[in-house]
Structure 1
Amino acid sequence: MKKSLLALAVLGAVAGVANAQTNVTVYGVVDAGIARESGDVAGTAWKLASGVQSGNRLGFKGTEDLGGGLKANFQLENGFNVDTGTQRQGALFGRQAFVGLSGNFGAVNLGRQYNPLFIALDSIDPFGTGLTGASTNLMAGGSNGDVRVNNAITYTSPNMSGLSATALYGFGEQAGDTSKNRNYALSANYANGPVAAVLAYSNTNDNAASPNSAKVWLIGGTYDLGVVKAHLAYESEKADANFPTVGGADFRDWMAGVSAPVAGGTVMASYIKKTDKTNSAEGAKQYAVGYTYPLSKRTNVYTSYSRVTNDSNAQFFAGDASSGGPSDAAGNNTQKVGGTSTGFAVGIRHTF
């Protein structure tokens, strides 16, 4: 009898562990392509590119039901380069790392998280901020390139008839002045039927005694006509004169694009115009076209081409989901001032 009770207890414990494990999901993206980049100081380069359509990642996410509609949630996401096996973002879980609670009130999370501005831009870009037509080649995904924000607390509201909102506060963690290195961002999103719209704002301070700030506003949306989806966005980027990386910037960015089902896949195209309001000739424009084709629910092939034409004092280049931004290798894609940059890629992406 005692042995039977012990056996039942062991089986119950094992079942409990198995049940707990069902609430944890392991997921990821493996993406690689052949890319041709031209316009660099060194000329044209062919390479095996990592994460062209989507950044490569290995992630873990899970929930625990605490009762009464309350849940505990976590997500840990590592970024890596599939061509070399090396780590990206400079940290083990540099893509995302947070824990929080969710319920009828919405969700509160604490940790390294995406800037709501970037999420808003990603949702209306026909290229999904990936491939060589990524809107982030010219447009800002954060007020200081901060696509992800450290030391952040976020609140996301419940979806109310298609309308939801997200607020982020990133602690500067500087003794004596809570405004130093501080980040905050807001977004409102609406999706109902064929219409989707976003409004987002991001503000980042530096570490100066009297902090300088960089600010970005974004408004845009999509309209699905069935045979084609229209994409439109407008962005304002401004920074105080002494802000470290983009001091004195004052840009206006326009994006117009389309995406449509064609031959079982999706074709996409966009045009972006970046205007420098300081009359310093640091603007640019980008034309891009791409195509993705699903081989299965988890695997697709893709190709894309983009061309960036810089104003006389600008240095933007045709990047993709991974070859751009602060995580890029030093000196990679160094662009001639006032030059033209082109990017072409063909590759395969698998999600799991």
Structure 2
Amino acid sequence: MKKAALIGLAGMTLAAAVQAQTNVAIYGIVDAALVGESGGSGGRATKITSGAGAASRIGFRGSEELGDGMSAFFTLETGAKIDSGELDASNTIFNRQAFVGLKTRAGSVALGRQYTPYHLMLVQIVDPFGTGYAGTSKNLLPDNGTNVRTSNTITYLSPSLRGVSVNLAYSAGEQTTLSAGRQYGGSVAYENGPLALTLVYNAKNTDVAATGVNHDIGRNLLVGGNYDFKFVRVYAGYEIDKGFNSATLGNANNPYGGVRPTASTDGRDLILGLRAPVGPGTLMFSTQRKDDRTRLNQDATEWGIGYLYPLSKRTGLYAAYARIHNKNGAGYTVANNTESGTGNTGYNLGIRHSF
């Protein structure tokens, strides 16, 4: 009896120890907004949109301590449309993120579908709207498609050393020619007190080996940062886009009629902005400029403003508005976190809850 009791006690102790070493969490965001758009050839549109501020999602993340400073981790995350209850991408399950990796004292390596260093630096350092709401950097900067996330990707994230960290990513095209369809990039970030700086490079090959389709490499080089003055945090970013597919349009369906917009293959992007505590909430503002240096000279300028009003640590209301001035047939539209938009003006009135 004593032996059986000791074995049972040892089993419970071991189970408790395993449970303490393994951590699995369910998390998510539920975001819905009234969205208005105007200025496009389709006229005015008013609708309920899921994820105008931050894409609605549910995810599972976990880690397990393996000893000697090593741990395993994973994330599985799917998007959902709150307005209709559907998945936000058909024929997918974990379309937003799906990866597994190992973390050591030398850094973390992960394999699967993941965010690009380019997108992460826009969210974390350069864009005061965090790539969401009507004032998002997606309005003029190419934060769309595979510039946001890639499949078949291996990443390395270094530990922070005196405020400096490195994030590298390589996405295999998985074609008969090794270089065809691949994408790679990296960022160097520096964060120390109120200052955050970053330098990001992104390159993608859109060749199709099976059909012999060949293009030049699309490249993005972004430098930016922000500084917290306590009463206001200021943001700035400057980007060079060059090559085929380097700066795809969010809405390429000729949203204004007339001259069909063409994605720039040689452009310069500028974004300036701020976040400031105003009353019980946070004011956001940004202005952007697209300098298209191709013969079409399809330039654009934009400004956006927004306000976040917290109801609790996890729930908040928001309002945002943005306007774009297109030149020479440019086709840039006011987007939000999940939609590319249909016109040159747009607003969001929404609520977001995180768990």
Flag whether TM exceeds 0.5 (same fold).
yes
Please name the residue that 2:129 is paired with: 127
CA distance in 2: counterparts of 1:240 and 1:270, whole angstroms: 28
Q: Once superposed, what is the RMSD of the aligned Cα atoms?
A: 2.2
Match of 1:249 among 247, 265, 273: 265
CA distance in 2: counterparts of 1:178 and 1:161, whole angstroms: 37
Q: Where does the alignment leave 5 or more consecutive residues of structure 2 unmatched? A: 250-261
Q: Deviations over 1:159-186 (max 9, x none)?
A: 01111011101011112x1100010011
Contact map agreement 1:35 1:46 (CA 8 A) in 2:
yes
Please say which of residues 9-18 and 248-257 is displaced more in the overlay.
9-18
Q: Are the structure 2 counterparts of residues 94 and 346 from structure 1 closer, same or farther at C-alpha, using a change threshold of 3 Å?
A: same
Please name the residue that 1:278 is paired with: 294
Contact map agreement 2:320 2:348 (CA 8 A) in 1:
yes
Please name the residue that 1:55 is paired with: 55
CA distance in 2: counterparts of 1:228 and 1:13, whole angstroms: 51
CA distance in 2: counterparts of 1:206 and 1:258, whole angstroms: 35
Please name the residue that 1:172 is paired with: 173
Q: Are the structure 2 counterparts of residues 302 and 242 from structure 1 closer, same or farther at C-alpha, using a change threshold of 3 Å?
A: closer
> How far has the Cα of 1:247 moved from its partner?
6.9
CA distance in 2: counterparts of 1:266 and 1:190, whole angstroms: 25
Query: Are 1:201 and 2:204 an aligned pair?
Result: no
CA distance in 2: counterparts of 1:273 and 1:248, whole angstroms: 13
Contact map agreement 2:106 2:158 (CA 8 A) in 1:
yes
Q: Secondary structure of 1:100's match?
A: strand
CA distance in 1: counterparts of 2:173 and 2:139, whole angstroms: 27
TM-score, scaled relative to structure 2: 0.89
CA distance in 1: counterparts of 2:149 and 2:78, whole angstroms: 13
Q: Secondary structure of 1:158's match?
A: coil
Q: Secondary structure of 1:272's match?
A: strand
Alignment size in residue pairs: 336
Please name the residue that 1:327 is paired with: none
Q: Deviations over 1:238-267 (max 9, x none)?
A: 114999987761110011111100102110
Please name the residue that 1:137 is paired with: 139
Q: Give the letter aligned to residue 339 of structure 2.
A: S
Q: Give the letter aligned to residue 163 of structure 2.
A: G
Query: Are 1:228 and 2:244 an aligned pair?
Result: no
Contact map agreement 1:78 1:93 (CA 8 A) in 2:
yes
Match of 1:342 among 329, 345, 351: 345
Contact map agreement 1:89 1:95 (CA 8 A) in 2:
no
Contact map agreement 1:26 1:58 (CA 8 A) in 2:
yes
Q: Secondary structure of 1:119's match?
A: helix
CA distance in 1: counterparts of 2:166 and 2:220, whole angstroms: 17
Q: Secondary structure of 1:313's match?
A: coil
Q: Where does the alignment leave 5 or more consecutive residues of structure 1 unmatched? A: 325-332, 336-340
Give the share of equivalent positions with the same residue, in percent.
41
Contact map agreement 1:234 1:253 (CA 8 A) in 2:
yes
CA distance in 1: counterparts of 2:284 and 2:129, whole angstroms: 7
Within 5 A, what are the aligned runs for 1:182-201?
A: 182-201=182-201
> How far has the Cα of 1:19 moved from its partner?
3.9
Q: Are the structure 2 counterparts of residues 241 and 28 from structure 1 closer, same or farther at C-alpha, using a change threshold of 3 Å?
A: closer
Match of 2:217 among 207, 210, 213: 213
> How far has the Cα of 1:279 moved from its partner?
3.2
Q: Give the letter aligned to residue 99 of structure 2.
A: F
Please name the residue that 2:254 is paired with: none
CA distance in 1: counterparts of 2:33 and 2:183, whole angstroms: 35
Q: Are the structure 2 counterparts of residues 89 and 223 from structure 1 closer, same or farther at C-alpha, using a change threshold of 3 Å?
A: same
CA distance in 1: counterparts of 2:230 and 2:43, whole angstroms: 42
Q: Secondary structure of 1:197's match?
A: strand
Q: Are the structure 2 counterparts of residues 248 and 41 from structure 1 closer, same or farther at C-alpha, using a change threshold of 3 Å?
A: closer
Q: Deviations over 1:287-324 (max 9, x none)?
A: 10000011111111110000011112211111101112
Q: Give the letter aligned to residue 297 of structure 1.
A: K
Please name the residue that 1:288 is paired with: 304
TM-score, scaled relative to structure 1: 0.89
Please name the residue that 1:328 is paired with: none
Within 5 A, what are the aligned runs for 1:95-114?
A: 95-114=96-115
CA distance in 2: counterparts of 1:244 and 1:179, whole angstroms: 21
Q: Deviations over 1:168-209 (max 9, x none)?
A: 01011112x110001001101011011110100100001244
Please name the residue that 1:351 is paired with: 354
Match of 1:267 among 259, 283, 299: 283
Q: Are the structure 2 counterparts of residues 96 and 271 from structure 1 closer, same or farther at C-alpha, using a change threshold of 3 Å?
A: same
> How far has the Cα of 1:78 moved from its partner?
0.6
Q: Are the structure 2 counterparts of residues 253 and 112 from structure 1 closer, same or farther at C-alpha, using a change threshold of 3 Å?
A: same
CA distance in 2: counterparts of 1:318 and 1:28, whole angstroms: 26
